[in-house]
């Protein structure tokens, strides 16, 4: 059977943006920015996107497009009888870990969305406000698992429908819709009295932040939320034909990811400051602080409904790219159909997700790594170890295993200034920088 392909280059770009833009952009980026020098951090991050993110993105997509195979198969094809294919196993492993916890958090988002549809959450139900609602919900056994299962079922359904008919079609609808919803929310949030404080938190540059080493580590770490290092972009690249040029697409994807991160900040922080609430990071911000604010603002119920719809869309478009990584691998390895492969992989991930979910309830005392609960431990192994190693290995592969002319041809660049800069970055700068993040995060 012929290998599947994207219908259009735009379809590929939207799918890759869908992969990159996820829960990470909405609940992490703007907070990290605000706490690490605001506008100064944004500038630094943009520098990192151009210097490291986009070159690495281009590298990862090009490996897939050249080999036209999955994460493991691509290395076996391009470098037969060498151990480079281990890079692919880092990717497969990260995909299993990441989607197992991602689906649990996405399930929470669906639960909130559902309760905004019914109107239950227009006001915090019961004593203790949304803190009690959230804490009570995630610590239960079956309830959160039902929503995780529902989310996984949607992800599997899209992946089963195929690259063009499923993944591409879904992203062509989701991404423009997500942009529209977030822009509407941002305009509304900026119109609140006191919104200026939020803008200050996000944008006012604190240049002294540049003197703290942690800001660089944070900015570089944030890069991996571009979906780099896991093989999602490699696998998506493998469905591209050779006549589709890569550099423009890579720049577009990198810039749009940053755009979505900033616009999420414009939704969240003006509202947080307008209601004089101390911003916190991570799940409590999204599932406790924001609903509490929505409760107090005019039209807050509708705002909450749109917000959790947008959050669920962002999670879904990322999740399908993560499921596709092992799905494509098992299809080739065992000669399985797309249906059999994605249902099997998705079910295993759901099974792992049960542990993650129970880690907030009966197993909240289980802390595999340091004082991290099950979710944080899995995130730590994936984000701090496997993804950096995967990214490092990809850069070394293209920079050192390929000849320069092969590498340039793979990414559609010539041996001119532009091509030379990209090559130098991938060969020297990316490996050094990733090693620095890696060592400093351990
Ligand atoms: N890009 C998505 C996000 O930012 C998914 C993702 C990619 C991810 N790499 C990750 C999520 C590492 C958590 C950790 O949400």
Q: Which pLDDT score, from 0 to 100, does residue 202 have?
A: 86
Cβ 73 under 6 angstroms from ligand 1: no
Q: Is 18 in the pocket of ligand 1 (CB under 6 A)?
A: no
Exposure of 384 by Cβ count < 10 A (0-12 exposed, 13-18 middle, 19+ buried)?
middle
pLDDT of residue 277: 82
Cβ of 62 below 6 Å from ligand 1: no
Q: Measuring from atom 1 of ligand 1, which residue has the nearest CA?
A: 20
Instruction: Give me the sign of the Cα torsion angle 424, 428, 431, 437.
Output: negative
What pLDDT score does 242 carry? Answer: 93
Which of 264, 318, 378 has the most ligand 1 atoms within 8 A of CB, as the residue to mutate?
318
**340/359 Cα distance (integer angstroms):** 29
Instruction: Calculate how far, in angstroms, residue 321's C-alpha sits from the geometric centre of ligand 1.
Output: 10
Of the candidates 365, 308, 378, 360, which has an alpha carbon nearest to the alpha carbon of residue 137? 360
- Whose C-alpha lies nearest to ligand 1, atom 10? 225
The finding on whether 27 has its CB within 6 A of some atom of ligand 1 is: no
Indicate the top mutation candidate among 17, 19, 23 to test ligand 1's pocket, ranked by most ligand atoms within 8 A of CB.
Answer: 23
- 383 CB near ligand 1 (under 6 Å): yes
CA of 353 to the centre of ligand 1 (A): 16
pLDDT, tens digit only, all 442 positions of the chain? 678 999 999 999 999 999 999 998 887 787 788 788 888 888 899 899 999 999 999 999 999 999 999 999 999 999 999 999 999 999 999 999 999 999 999 999 999 999 999 999 999 888 889 999 999 999 998 999 999 999 999 999 999 999 999 999 999 999 999 999 999 999 999 999 989 988 988 888 888 888 888 888 788 878 888 999 999 999 999 999 999 999 999 999 999 999 998 999 999 989 988 888 877 777 788 999 899 999 988 899 999 999 999 999 999 999 999 999 999 999 999 999 999 999 999 999 999 999 999 999 999 889 998 889 999 899 889 888 899 999 999 999 999 999 999 999 999 999 999 999 999 999 999 999 999 878 887 7
Residue with tokens 């998705």, as numbered in its chain = 346
For a substitution probing ligand 1, which of 56, 178, 225 has the most ligand atoms within 8 Å of its CB?
225
Question: Which pLDDT score, from 0 to 100, does residue 353 have?
Answer: 97
| Ligand 1 pocket mutation pick from 22, 99, 221, 441 by most atoms within 8 angstroms of CB | 22
The per-residue pLDDT for 380 is 87
The predicted structure's pLDDT at residue 1: 63
pLDDT for the residue numbered 217: 79
Q: Which CATH number does 9-366 carry?
A: 1.10.4160.10
């Amino acid at each position: 059977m012929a290998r599947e392909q994207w219908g259009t280059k735009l379809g590929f770009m939207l799918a890759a943006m869908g992969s990159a833009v996820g829960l990470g952009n909405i609940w992490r980026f703007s907070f990290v920015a605000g706490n690490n020098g605001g506008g100064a951090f944004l500038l630094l991050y943009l520098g990192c996107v151009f210097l490291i993110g986009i070159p690495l993105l281009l590298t990862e997509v090009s490996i897939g497009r050249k080999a036209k195979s999955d994460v493991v198969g691509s290395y076996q094809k391009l470098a037969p009888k060498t151990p480079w294919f281990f890079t692919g196993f880092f990717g497969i492993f990260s995909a299993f870990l990441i989607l197992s916890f991602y689906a649990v958090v996405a399930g929470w988002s669906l639960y909130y969305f559902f309760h905004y549809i019914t109107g239950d959450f227009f006001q915090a139900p019961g004593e203790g406000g949304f803190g009690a609602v959230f804490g009570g919900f995630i610590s239960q056994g079956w309830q959160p698992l039902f929503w995780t299962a529902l989310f996984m079922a949607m992800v599997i359904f899209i992946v089963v429908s195929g690259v063009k008919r499923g993944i591409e079609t879904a992203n062509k609808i989701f991404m423009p819709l997500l942009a529209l919803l977030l822009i509407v929310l941002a305009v509304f949030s900026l119109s609140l009295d006191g919104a200026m404080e939020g803008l200050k938190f996000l944008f006012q540059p604190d240049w002294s932040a540049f003197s703290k080493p942690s800001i660089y580590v944070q900015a570089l770490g944030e890069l991996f939320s571009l979906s780099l290092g896991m093989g999602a972009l490699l696998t998506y690249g493998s469905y591209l034909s050779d006549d589709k040029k890569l550099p423009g697409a890579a720049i577009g994807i990198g810039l749009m990811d940053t755009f979505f991160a900033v616009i999420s900040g414009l939704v969240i922080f003006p509202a947080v400051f307008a209601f004089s609430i101390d911003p916190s990071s991570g799940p409590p911000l999204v599932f406790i602080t924001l609903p509490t604010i929505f409760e107090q603002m005019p039209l807050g119920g509708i705002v909450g409904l749109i917000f959790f719809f947008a959050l669920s869309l962002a999670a879904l478009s990322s999740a399908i790219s993560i499921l596709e990584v092992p799905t494509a691998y098992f299809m080739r390895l065992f000669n399985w159909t797309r249906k059999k492969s994605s249902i099997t992989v998705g079910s295993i991930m759901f099974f792992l997700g049960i542990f993650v979910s129970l880690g907030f309830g009966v197993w909240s005392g289980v802390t595999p790594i340091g004082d991290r609960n099950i979710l944080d431990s899995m995130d730590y192994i994936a984000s701090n170890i496997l993804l950096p190693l995967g990214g490092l290995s990809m850069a070394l592969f293209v920079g050192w295993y390929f000849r320069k002319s092969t590498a340039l041809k793979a990414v559609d660049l010539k041996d001119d200034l532009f091509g030379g800069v990209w090559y130098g970055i991938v060969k020297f700068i990316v490996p050094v920088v990733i090693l620095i993040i890696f060592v400093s995060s351990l």
